[in-house]
Each structure stands twice: as structure tokens, then as C-alpha cells.
Structure 1
């Protein structure tokens, strides 16, 4: 099922995280007031690592008190941001943010593009995508924009053809030609690395691939190109907080030469820096 929903258990987890993690008003500034700690939500890799580098090496000099809250899914960071228990988040791309706002009624906006985490195709059974067998099973993310992104990557390699007009939210229903008769298995993005024992290939988001110990630049048998790629991860805030001085400081640091060098040195092509918003 393609969806942008969370079960009740995840909602309860969100309440628990925000209740015990965001701090009191005396410890962190209220969203948008420009004072106190800036609380930023992020997935662990690469967002959490990039933010930790900034916190440990750059934030104090910039006059920024930064607190990082890590999440393991793609919904709770936006829910918390909309509710005000986060001041900003870093993990999503513009197509995902647009779809989230549309489907959830949130009012979140981009501040700056930070880096590109290229999506890749991974396999334990083949080392060359051209060797993918007829009737092979392909695992893809089951939520809207990431599934469309995965299908576009497969289309770019000639494995499928999408219908004219199939946009960022393309689904298997938008496949016009499937010469290898591929079978698609739609899974939660976090489950995709674990699916590799059961499928022929899986199209996996960068952060979940790295969480599972894969190096996208080395281990992906297909990796997205950076050219004209709309999927750079961005720093997001609730509308109206774009000019918060704390947010402006973090945005400037995210595209600084120091962060660019950190990304290049640490990820060695598995994450690509963005040097302008």
C-alpha cells in the first residue's frame, strides 16, 4: 500500500519522544523566537552525522546552540515540526515535502538545500543491473515520492518505461512498458535493506542503505546521477520561521566550505555536497 500514514503506535512514540526529548522552554527557545537552543530533527545518516559535525566543530563559533533529535522514519520529523516540538528538520527532499504538505495539511517550507544522498539499486544476487533476470522481483519504497523516485531510476536504466506525464508520484500503475516482466514488491523504506535476501534487487534510500552498512558509492549496482537531480535534502521549518536567526545560522553552516569538505572526506561520493541553496 502506497501511503504517507503512521500507525497509532508510531503516533504514541512521537508523543513519547517529544515529551521526554525536546526540553523545557527554559532550556530551548520556542519555535521561531530566535533565542535559546535550536532543536533539529534528523535521520541518523547522513543528516544526524552532518549536524553532529556542525555541533561539535562550528556551532559555538557561530553563536548557535544546537540540539539534534534523531528519528528512524520519514513522517514523525515533519509531524513534530508542524506541532512545534522541533524548530527545524533535515532529512527530506522538495518533492517529498510538497507531497507531505498536500496530504497532511502541514505548512512546512524549505530554507536551504544541504546535500544530495543519491538513491541506489542494491543486490546480493547480481553485480550488474543488465544481468537482472526476466521476472525478477524488485523491492521499492512504498511511500509516494520515494516510490516515484525509485521507478524513475529504473526507467533511466532502461528497465521500464513510464507513461508520459508520470511525475514525482509515479507508481507501478504508471509503467507503460516492462520488457523484463519485473515484479514489484512495495515495502516500508526502512525494511528495504533487510529484503535483499528475499528479492533480486531493492531500490534503497541512501540513509537506510548506510544505516545497514552499505557504501552507496561502492555497493550500489546503480546510483542516481547528481546532474539535474531534484532530490537534494533540505533544511525545513514551519512557515514563518524562515528568518529565525538560529535557522539562518544553521543554513549558512550547512553550505559552508567546512561542511562541504566534511561530506566529501567522510562519504567519498556516497553523499554529495550542495554549495548553494
Structure 2
């Protein structure tokens, strides 16, 4: 059939739209994406993500890290294309300290931080001068102190935001001693402490029994500490980014998260199943 000029005009937007739809996957397909994650349970999660991405023509090369300080530096140096291990307060603190140009592109999960003890069964049983371990990086120490405040252990100065430090404690009725330790160590030191605030992933690695040894937990609704996939800002709109995020935000990934973290970590993207 011969296409007359009016028909050409009418078909042009359709053809252009079809062309864009066809081009986008081709740009992402066949690409290898280097992703940095924390070692441990996340390796199982990202095996599921990688299998989903492979169906879309993306190969994932996963690099594991043992502490929180390395993945953003590796991303900033372009040794990685993306990382997945952090929440916004942590990234904000890293950007302020190191001037990274890194942005979040899709939520992954939330790990409500917990207060654990092998010496008492409740917050009310904490003794005078109790030694309480907290992570020593700015965002997680702030998170720990806010948890202690929410449970009446301490009171912080007004308007401290999400990054208070021990210097911001305004009231300490039991004179608890705040012990600042590396996030990867605080859980393993629980036997030498009266209690410890430990990130969920590190609690599992330290052999803490969740929820048996948990005496308090951060609230989940409205939690500002949802983790996400992050990339360098210049890559935020690259076609492969959407493919990676879509490959993560799937029901089979949610199921893997709930399984490997024993229900102590919850999928955090919109519409994600919670059980």
C-alpha cells in the first residue's frame, strides 16, 4: 500500500515511539554491569537479581566488600557501575565528607536496627552505668542514639536531626556508657557489653539470635533508612540502570530477602510483598 503524505504524518509519531521502544533495550542488552555489595546474605539476593537481569541481556559482575567505607569510593573511582548497601543518611554523610557525586536510583530493602542483649531481657532491666555499644560511623551512630532515645534510655538535644552524636545527649538518667565501635565489631562485642545496637546484617554475621536477643527495634513505618541501589550521577538515566532496578524489584527477589535474612529484613520498594 502506498502511504500518502497525510498518512505519513499520522504514522510518524507511532513509528518514532516504536523506534525508541526498540532502541532502549538494545542499548542495555549485552552490557556487563559491575555492582558492589556487602558480603554475606546479599550475595544470595544478588544471585537472584543477576538471573533476572540475564533474561534482559544484562550480565552482572558482583564484587563483595567487608566494610561500609569501600563501595562508594570504588563507585566514585569508576571501578564499579553501581553499588547496593546503604541508606540515604549514610550516603549524605559520605557526600559531605568526601564530595561524592552519587545518587540513589531504586529502593531495595530496609533493615530495622535493633538493640540486643545477652544480659537483660528488656530495656527496663538495663542497669545503672550499663555499657552500650553503638556503630561509630555518623549515620549509624545517630540511628542508634535515636533508637535509645525512643526507648527512654537517653534524651537528645532538640532538633539534632538524623546524625546526633554522643555529645548531643542531654539527659542520661541511668548514666549509660556509650561505646563507639566499628559497625562490623559492635555485634561481636555483645558478650562484653550490657547491650549493643547492631545493624541487622552485622547482627546475623555476629551470630546474634534474631529476634530472641533483641530487646528493642526501630520503627518500620516512615523509616528513613531504606537501602537502595546507587550510581554515579552521570549514569542515573542510562538504560542499564532501569534494567538493574527492575531486575531487583521483583517478587522472587523479595522472597529471597525474606528467606536469607530470616524475616528481619523487609523489601522496601513500592508494592513489595512483606511476607
TM-score (norm 2): 0.84
Check if 1:196 corresponds to 2:190: yes
Distance 2:121 2:52 in 1: 40
Give the CA deviation at 1:34.
Answer: 7.7
Question: Alignment partner of 1:270: what SS?
Answer: coil
* Partner residue of 1:220 out of 214, 218, 222: 214
Matched residue, 1:138: 132
Give the CA deviation at 1:202.
Answer: 0.8
Question: Alignment partner of 1:54: what SS?
Answer: helix
**Residues matched between the structures, number:** 245
Q: Which whole-Å deviations, capped at 9, do the CAs of 1:116-167 have from their partners, x for residues lacking one? A: 0111111121121211001101111111111000000111111111111111
Aligned CA-pair RMSD: 1.9
Matched residue, 1:44: 39
Matched residue, 1:259: 253
TM-score (norm 1): 0.83
Distance 2:44 2:216 in 1: 24
Distance 2:213 2:29 in 1: 42
Matched residue, 1:174: 168
Matched residue, 2:18: none
Give the CA deviation at 1:213.
Answer: 2.5
Matched residue, 2:229: 235
Matched residue, 2:66: 72
Give the CA deviation at 1:261.
Answer: 2.3
Matched residue, 1:82: 76
Give the CA deviation at 1:262.
Answer: 2.3
8 Å contact kept, 1:110–1:234: yes
Give the CA deviation at 1:169.
Answer: 1.3
Q: Which runs of 5+ in 1 are unaligned?
A: 1-31
Question: Alignment partner of 2:234: what SS?
Answer: coil
